[in-house]
Structure 1
Amino acid sequence: MALRRILIWTGIPVLAVVLLIAFWSWTWFIPLAERQASARLGRAVTIADLDVDLGRVTEIRLGGVRIANPEGFPEEPPFAAVQQLAVRLDVMEFIRHRRIVIPDIALTQPALRLIQNPDGKNNYSFPALAGDPDAPPTPPEEQPQIGALRIQEGRAQVSLAQLQSEMQLAIATEEPEGQPARIRVTAEGTYARQPITGELTGGAVLSLRNAEDPWPIKLDLANGPTRVALEGTLSDPLRFAGANIRLRLEGPDMARLTPLTGVPIPPTPAYRIAGRLDYADRAIRFTGMEGTVGRSDLNGDIAVTPRADTRPLVEATLRSRRVDLDDLGGFIGAKPGEAPDRRQAARNRVLPDTPVNLPKLEAADIRLTYDGGSILGSAMPLDDLHAKLDITDGAIALRPLRFGVGRGRIEGNFDFAPQQGGGLSAKGDVRFQRVDLSRLMGVTPLGEGQGAIGGAARIDTRGRSIAEMLGQGDGAVTLGMAGGNLSSLLVDLSGLQLGNAILSALGLPSRTKVECFIADLGLRRGVLNTRTVLIDTDSSLISGTGTIDLRRERLDYALRTEAKHFTIGALTTNIEIDGSFRDPSVRPEMLELGARAGAAVGLGIIALPLAILPTVRFGIGEDNRCEGLVRRAR
């Protein structure tokens, strides 16, 4: 009886164990694994087969793994499908040290289908995995340690509607004889309506917390005429951190990089730049950049911070030892590095009328500081350049934009805002501080001069291009100069002293001293109206009257010289300047020519407003010569 009882109490458990071993199937755990994976990814995960080989290093094999598309996307094909996924786990490492160590992961025939719709929705974002962006990063000792990754016959089809792209990727790992294992990805298709081909190779080992054994990476990409080359190492490739990567970019126009980088870039001439690429403080950084854009060199640093709830933030500090302003034409809608638009020339237009591209301005928030050490061009009176540009929600603040001219400078502050229906509203003010007249006169056919000009200008306008803004703006321009000189050629021609003009053209006469120069013009709906234009020299008084129509690009102006002393051969008359900006005409007023001759007229013709004096003194220092002119005029 006792023996029977013992056999029953021991035999039944043994039989149960035998039966469990005989009929055990790991597939019983498939529903549990599917629920756990689906909850973690936030979308349906299905598994066709599950098998486990227990041991010190346990191997888990999953067959027929499928990750579904989110709602709003077709069921077939799914986001991901893997014929077999094999994962090996170091169980003893977890028992002893509570660390997750995965010696290797193997995927057989993985297939990805990545889709982005025209409205921006995609099937490759996993909000459930995003977590709290403000949470501190997981300490390295708590991160899973992954060894080798092996991929066999992987492929991906990528369709990005907003980038007008359709690409096919082939993904596989290789183990060349005598060389470390590596992963290789090739791409072919179209990107931003341009053909694209590329090849990426990287180390197949992903454990990568070992800084002494960083992960190698190399990328060669051709998108139309744009070439991208990247080579270096990563200490943490899953986070793109600890980078020692050299990036080279080359192409005919940096605007073509906008689809590749997501950063709005205006049109430029051909460029070639290189620098160091890294990821730190949640920003992609391109540092130590150096290269050329057109005839200008370009150096500096750029950081791009992606932001989930708004547009990315681009912060850049750029420098050029030498800059050609033609290379920056894309920032104002012109064609950089090229001659003016032939259609514009055919219309006899001078002011640029290419529309400003607003969508690019609204694609990112930008903080840019730019310095140009010297400005190229023998016909360019500007010496250097400093600009600070902020773009927020499409609104532009250019504060300041500063040019050096000799010992002086021209500095402006501008604000632009996008308008409904297109175009910009613009407000700006410009200050002229001791601007070197010799630099300005040296690039004109009018002659030479010396002196320092000061003054101010302001404008309030709107429009789609520079020409349209100037053509319908309101504002004012005030300039003044005390002291200095102009060549006799300029002064004598305005007074028609023919003999002296001939000698001046031969370079024989001395310069004409300027006691005071004053110009005050009002801008109303694109038309500059003269309030006061006066040049007081040691022998003549030159006054100007008329209008400059910026909308129609027409001149209707007259200069008049009155001799202060009796001068033989001086026929006082108006010099009329009229016609288009592109082809103006300069001629004497024939009705008055010869009506007056050689009389000392003095200064009785002046009606100089005293209120202008404080304004014209701005930026030219303390000098009482203009005050003397005012006293004589009174």
Structure 2
Amino acid sequence: MTETPPQPRRKSHPVLIGFGSFFLAILLLILFWSWDWFVPLVNSRATAMLHRKTTIEHLHVALGRVTTVRVENLRIEQPKTFADEKNPFAEAKELAVSVDVWSYLWHRALHIPLIALTEPKADIQARKNGENNYTFTEDGKPAPQDEKSSDTTSTLPDITELRISDGAVHVRHDPLQADMQMGVETTPPDEKSRGTLRISGKGRYAQQPITARFVGGAVLSFVADKEPYPVDLFVQNGPTTATLKGNVVHPLTLAGAQLKLHFAGPDMSLLYPLTGVPIPRTPPYTISGMLNYAREHIVFKDFEGKMGTSDIGGTIEVNPHEKPLSVQANLRSKQVNLVDLGGFIGAKPNKTKAEEKAEAKSNTVLPDTPINIPKLNAVNAHVTYRGAHIENQRLPLDNIDAEFFVTDGAIDLKRLNFAVGQGTLASSATLKPDGKLFDTTARIDFARIDLSRIMQATADSKAQGIIGGHMTLKAKGNSIASLMAAGNGGLTLVLDQGGDITAILPNVLGLQLANAVLSALGLPSHTDIRCFIADMPLKNGIVSTNTLLLETGEARTLGKGTINFRTNKLDYALTTRSQGPTVASLPGAFHITGPIKSPTVLPGAEILGRAAAATGLGFVFPPLALLPTIQIGVGDKSLCSRAVQEVNNNPAAGIAPGALSHARGSTGKQSVSSAKTRPTGGKKSASPQSKKSGQKQMTPAEVRAAWDAKLKNKK
């Protein structure tokens, strides 16, 4: 056999070997590839960027024209300053981000079709010292803003959908006294919208329980600022409720808002934590209006509502960018009850039972609610208010016109004017903060005020007359009560042609005290008041008497004494002299003493020791300096002008003139000398001192018993 020669061995081509090796390596890489190899790198980069430890457990990437990156068990720890907190700053079961690679490669546009969060959780906190855990800087402090930085809207990528499933957020904000748990989720886009964002919250805010529900457009709709953003919000903070419904045309700039805002609650002062605007206490209210944002101002315009029994409306404009907050308010009422405005002067329109009990025990008759200086420093305000008609059970007036400024804690009341028929009650005041007190200057002017308009709401009241005069006050304090207790100034008041005394005194003094005063005056119950004049200076909280005159058709009554607002006590004496033989007046002093809220009326022993008064007596009474005030306040043809002239032209003998009253600037000695030089009309009268010398002295117990018997027989 012939042997076959051996075949030469075929050599492998090096290119084919290299290609095969590469293909095999790619195949092995695909078969055994794990994106988790990059987890340490991702953790390191994320930790450095967020300045707090950040970890993921797994990383998945689905390559394609639209590439999806998905991480599992994302966890972001608290910053170092919050390391003692048990819960992490944020975590999520899964985070997925889809990126349109093709769009970026060909158009250099970053388009993100989807960002999806599954079971995300966050723990957001802020402390009273200014620290917070949501500032992503190395030292935990807010990063300085670069004025040259571009608008964030120009750098945001185009995101189609942000999807949140079963989200939970805990917020604790100590400066706002807030601690809330919130649930967050989204609904997917449909043909009508890009989806919705739904948030529900429950917890505490400003030391009050709070419940909130929000349904709005998708977060990305807000960021895109391409179409109106729908808003539906309900908040209940303690007893206060608020709803906000409508849409915002340009949500990023908050412009073109068409939002209806409704507030309701038992007291507007409770709105302060929600709005940042301090408001005094009010009765229950309900208010609705339109909320807008224009020229960097938040505007609550054309609102209408009720506050107690009063209607309230107007426009409020707030600039939240200024420090302190700037507020412009133009308010109006068609009809307002003055009781509803009590909180603006320190009163409490809706007192609790505990406050009513405390008020009943207190001897203070004036509002003692302190003015809150820190709240005043939180806002600069210019407020105007116009009430077309004002009434309540005691003071039905015609209208109110007010304007005031609050600037750096100081109050400048330009005017607080009331129209009463053809007359006016005009007030102005300035209150400048001085520590915890206010350095206060105030003035009230009474000009031709019709008393019948003031008293007309009182049942069966026939009160009438014209009131004029003025009141001044300069003091330091932080409430009306404390200002009066430290005040200097005075009151000059004239009541001309005052009508039936029975119609006035019970409404001014109260029924029981009024009946006691009428009995002590010795006047018939239905006696007409011709004139009443009071000229009473206030010094260091104590009111004294320059002049006090009450003239009726039958008698004249003069008074002297003090009203002490520091101790809230009265120490006053009144003496009546008849002008004819028909009135059995008591020609001695009777005393009103004790607490201002409930004084005691007690006659002197000399009253009980005499049965009738001398007739035809006038009084040395020289208040001529008051004539200009009387003429301007009530008219130059008033009965009070005549009374002043008559009294000064016909002084009586036997009464120590300076002891009862004298004109401002005069002294008791001057009045005595004038009494000696003026004629007495030929009438003789023994002095009270000489009469008194022949009387039997009575003990205080005997005086009280006799007086009680007299009042009992009077009924």
TM-score (ref. length: structure 2): 0.70
Once the 2 structures are TM-superposed, how far is the Cα of residue 200 of structure 1 from its aligned partner? 1.5
Q: Secondary structure at the match of 2:324?
A: coil
Match of 1:197 in 2: 211
Do structure 1's residue 116 and structure 2's residue 126 form an aligned pair?
yes
Question: 1:432 maps to what in 2?
Answer: 446
The DSSP-based 3-state class of the residue aligned with 2:484 is helix
**Residue of structure 2 in register with 1:206 after alignment:** 220
User: 3-state SS of the aligned residue for 2:344?
Assistant: helix
Is contact 1:30–1:50 with CA below 8 Å preserved after alignment?
no
Kept after mapping to 2: 8 A contact 1:573/1:589: no
Whether the 8 Å CA contact 1:497–1:570 is kept in 2: the answer is no
Paired residues of 1:427 and 1:459 also in contact (CA < 8 A): yes
Q: Which residue of 1 aligns with 2:564?
A: 549
> Is 1:167 matched up with 2:180?
yes
Aligned to 2:350, which of 318, 330, 337? Answer: 337
Match of 1:576 in 2: 590
Secondary structure class of the residue paired with 1:375: coil
Q: How does 1:57-96 map to 2 (within 5 A)?
A: 72-74=81-83, 79-81=89-91
> For the residues of structure 1 that align with 2:440 and 2:37, how far apart are their CA atoms?
69
Mapping 1:357-506, distance limit 5 Å: 357-420=372-435, 422-440=436-454, 442=456, 448-480=462-494, 484-487=497-500, 501=524, 504=526
Code of the aligned partner of 2:269: A
**Alpha-carbon spacing, 1:136–1:382, altered in 2? closer, same or farther (3 Å):** farther
Structure-2 separation of matches of 1:100 and 1:387: 58
2:246 equivalent to 1:246: no
CA deviation map 1:58-90 (0-9, x unaligned): 767677877776674438756555666555667
What is residue 244 of structure 2 aligned with on the other side?
230
CA distance in 2, matches of 1:299, 1:33: 58
Which structure has the greater CA radius of gyration? 2
Q: Distance in 2 between matches of 1:71 and 1:618?
A: 75
- Greater Cα offset, 113-122 or 360-369: 360-369
Shift of 1:342: 1.1
Q: How many angstroms apart in 2 are the aligned matches of 1:550 and 1:446?
A: 32
Shift of 1:158: 0.7
Bigger fraction of residues in strand? 1
* Inter-CA distance 112–390: structure 2 relative to 1 (3 Å threshold): farther
**Secondary structure at 2:341 match in 1:** helix
1:151 aligns with 2:161: no
Look up the match of 2:542. Answer: 527
Q: Distance in 1 between matches of 2:504 and 2:202?
A: 68
Q: Which has the higher helix share?
A: 2
Q: Tell me if the contact between 1:203 and 1:215 (Cα under 8 Å) persists in the aligned partners.
A: yes
> Cα offset for 1:531?
0.6
1:528, CA displacement in angstroms?
A: 0.9
Corresponding residue to 1:264 among 278, 281, 285? 278
Aligned-pair CA distance for 1:436: 1.5
Match of 1:316 in 2: 329
Counterparts in 2 of 1:574 and 1:238: CA distance versus 1, 3 Å: farther
How far apart are residue 150 of structure 1 and its match?
Answer: 1.6
Q: Which amino acid aligns with 2:292?
A: D
Q: Which residue of structure 1 aligns with residue 365 of structure 2?
A: 350
Could you tell me which of 97, 101, 106 is aligned with 2:116?
Answer: 106
Decide whether the 8 Å contact of 2:520 with 2:603 is kept in 1: no
Paired amino acid for 1:559 = L
Matches of 2:590 and 2:616 in 1, distance apart? 22
Confirm or deny: 8 A CA contact 1:110 1:153 kept in the other structure. yes
Output the CA distance in 1 between the equivalents of 2:167 and 2:197: 11
Asked if the contact 1:275/1:290 (under 8 Å) is kept, the reply is yes
Give a deviation string over 1:107-150, Cα, whole Å, max 9, x none. 34443321111234433468867857x99995988876554322
Q: Take 2:478 and 2:127, find their aligned partners in 1: how far apart are those partners?
A: 31
Distance 1:238 1:57, change over 3 A: farther
Equivalent pair of 2:52/2:80 in contact (CA under 8 Å): no
**Per-residue deviation at 1:353?**
3.2
| Unaligned 5+ runs, structure 1 | 1-6, 506-510
Q: Distance in 2 between matches of 1:560 and 1:220?
A: 66
Residue 200 (structure 2) aligns with? 186
Equivalenced residues, count: 606
Q: 1:295 aligns with which of 309, 312, 324?
A: 309
The 1:118–1:220 alpha-carbon spacing in structure 2 relative to 1, beyond 3 Å, is same
TM-score normalised over the length of structure 1: 0.78
